[in-house]
């Protein structure tokens, strides 16, 4: 019991913060060694305490007796469905039962409330059709709190009082963002949740009255506040602005900067790990926290892709000993670069993610290689008079752009042509990829999902 009390304490989080700071001064090789050491320890743990992992790895010939030379890539990947179907066997803490956790979530809407006063429970909304539960024990949670504090929030040191931290987003449940944001040490900070679903007037009033030093939240939430500030409805001056959950596009970034006079920081986080990467202060790239995670980019057949090439993310969370995720398939597309970015941090970088649902378009280049158009270029395409569009790859090196136009059609079309030409030229695809236009009045949604699809790549 004393142990739990200590694990939950601010002192534990503080000591972890010091350790994390020290890690930032390791060499790339030392960092890799630390990661390997932590991976081995976790593997040993799951083979002792998780019935699921014992069974699942045994099928692949891996048992606790022969893990000496096993590396992470030797292990079979897992996914959310597999985890949830075997939940009670999956977790390493026998006390945890899916049914009971779900019962807790059905009545507890306060993200500050811990399950049995010990565990932090996070649930996902289930946009993939599968509800996900993610439980963190107090020691696991202390790591994540420290990571967020020291590498993301980095509190302004000059304040002679407690920091005021506001979070805007979904706040009425055990969602990832608010669960982490609300759990700041009380000695250190005051917290204000701003529900994105409350009336704008209420949000404005609360923001002004609280006057936060740190503003975090879903990108769309922070964007909303920046628009309110530009309209003069709020006048706040946060020193740190952290955007997460949704893509931070150039347009949104600009609006936030204009409103608050500060650059927002892009944080990559999910229920599977609440702090995985944060934007480098020198550039657009995000630094991956490889001291407490292993990140792999793989293709659709789960084979590793070359460094710098986009792939699907396999995540290994090295600090969650309660519900360990090893080679867990995320639904995010990433491009991981191994060499450090040039700042002093030893962490590899990941290219900023565009719309998570949007797909990359691949083409043949003039010199016979393959290259892609990043969806962010298309997600953020802005041409006056272009109301809505859709891009369909009709052949290997041919695209059709369906456009709904406003105003002088010829002039708008010429402007789109010019902008798309620039995008292709930058990527050196202008001589090989053909682009056709079709002016339409309506673009139907995807009949399968019922949702609008901006980019439709060629099948196979
Ligand atoms: Zn950097």
pLDDT digits (tens, 9 = 90+) for 265-304: 999 998 999 999 999 887 778 999 999 999 999 998 999 9
Q: How far is the CA of 288 from the centre of ligand 1 (A)?
A: 10
Cα–Cα distance for residue pair 293/129, rounded to 1 Å: 26
pLDDT in tens, 226-268: 999 999 999 999 999 999 877 888 788 999 999 999 999 999 9
Q: How far is the CA of 178 from the centre of ligand 1 (A)?
A: 27
Cα–Cα distance for residue pair 293/316, rounded to 1 Å: 5
Name the residue among 360, 358, 363 with its Cα closest to residue 430: 363
Long-range pairs, 384-390, Cβ under 8 A, ≥24: 384/412, 384/415, 385/411, 385/412, 385/415, 386/412, 386/415, 386/416, 388/443, 389/416, 389/443, 389/454, 390/443, 390/452, 390/453, 390/454, 390/455, 390/456
Q: How far is the CA of 274 from the centre of ligand 1 (A)?
A: 20
Asked if pLDDT for residue 132 goes beyond 90, the answer is no
Cα–Cα distance for residue pair 402/393, rounded to 1 Å: 11
Q: How far is the CA of 339 from the centre of ligand 1 (A)?
A: 10
Q: Give 121's strand partners.
A: 135
Q: How far is the CA of 162 from the centre of ligand 1 (A)?
A: 29
Share of the chain above pLDDT 90, in %: 55
Beta strands in 34-114 (DSSP E): none
Q: How far is the CA of 285 from the centre of ligand 1 (A)?
A: 7
Asked if pLDDT for residue 197 goes beyond 70, the answer is no
Between 380 and 135, name the one with better pLDDT: 135
CA distances from 344 to 64, 104, 301 (A): 38, 44, 35
Mean of the per-residue pLDDT values of the chain: 88
Q: How far is the CA of 343 from the centre of ligand 1 (A)?
A: 4
Q: How far is the CA of 318 from the centre of ligand 1 (A)?
A: 22
152-166, 262-276, 326-340, 355-369: the lowest-pLDDT one: 355-369
Name the residue among 167, 170, 82 with its Cα closest to residue 124: 170
Q: How far is the CA of 277 from the centre of ligand 1 (A)?
A: 11
């Amino acid at each position: 019991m004393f142990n739990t009390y200590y694990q939950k304490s601010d002192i534990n989080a503080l000591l972890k913060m010091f350790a994390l700071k020290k890690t930032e001064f390791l060499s790339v090789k030392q960092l890799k060694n630390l990661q390997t050491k932590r991976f081995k320890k976790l593997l040993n743990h799951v083979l002792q305490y998780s019935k699921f992992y014992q069974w699942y790895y045994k099928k692949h010939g891996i048992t606790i007796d022969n893990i000496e030379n096993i590396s992470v890539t030797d292990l079979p990947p897992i996914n959310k469905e597999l985890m949830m179907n075997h939940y009670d066997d999956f977790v390493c803490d026998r006390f945890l039962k899916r049914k009971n956790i779900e019962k807790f979530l059905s009545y507890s809407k306060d993200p500050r409330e811990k399950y049995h006063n010990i565990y932090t429970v996070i649930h996902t909304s289930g946009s993939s059709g599968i509800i996900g539960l993610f439980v963190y024990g107090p020691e696991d949670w202390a790591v994540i709190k420290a990571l967020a504090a020291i590498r993301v929030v980095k509190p302004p040191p000059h304040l002679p009082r407690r920091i005021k931290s506001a979070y805007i987003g979904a706040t009425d449940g055990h969602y990832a963002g608010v669960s982490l944001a609300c759990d700041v040490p009380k000695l250190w900070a005051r917290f204000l949740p701003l529900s994105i679903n409350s009336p704008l007037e209420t949000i404005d009033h609360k923001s002004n009255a609280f006057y936060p030093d740190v503003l975090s939240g879903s990108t769309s939430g922070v964007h909303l506040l920046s628009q309110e500030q530009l309209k003069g409805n709020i006048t706040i001056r946060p020193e740190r602005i952290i955007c997460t959950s949704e893509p931070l596009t150039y347009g949104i970034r600009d609006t936030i900067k204009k409103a608050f006079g500060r650059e927002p920081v892009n944080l990559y986080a999910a229920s599977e790990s609440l702090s995985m990467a944060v934007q480098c202060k020198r550039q657009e790239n995000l630094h991956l926290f490889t001291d407490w995670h292993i990140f792999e980019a793989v293709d659709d057949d789960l084979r590793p892709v070359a460094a710098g090439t986009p792939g699907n993310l396999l995540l290994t969370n090295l600090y969650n000993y309660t519900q360990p995720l090893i080679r867990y398939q995320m639904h995010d597309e990433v491009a991981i670069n191994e060499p450090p970015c040039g700042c002093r941090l030893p962490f590899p970088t990941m290219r900023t993610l565009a719309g998570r649902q949007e797909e990359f378009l691949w083409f043949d280049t003039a010199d016979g290689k393959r290259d892609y158009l990043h969806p962010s270029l298309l997600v953020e395409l802005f041409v006056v008079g272009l109301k809505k569009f859709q891009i369909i790859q009709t052949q290997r090196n041919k695209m059709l752009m369906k456009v709904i136009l406003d105003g002088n059609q010829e002039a708008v079309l010429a402007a789109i042509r010019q902008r798309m030409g620039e995008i292709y030229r930058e990527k050196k695809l202008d001589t090989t990829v053909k682009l056709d236009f079709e002016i339409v009045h309506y673009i139907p949604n995807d009949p399968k999902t019922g949702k609008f699809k901006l980019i439709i790549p060629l099948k196979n």
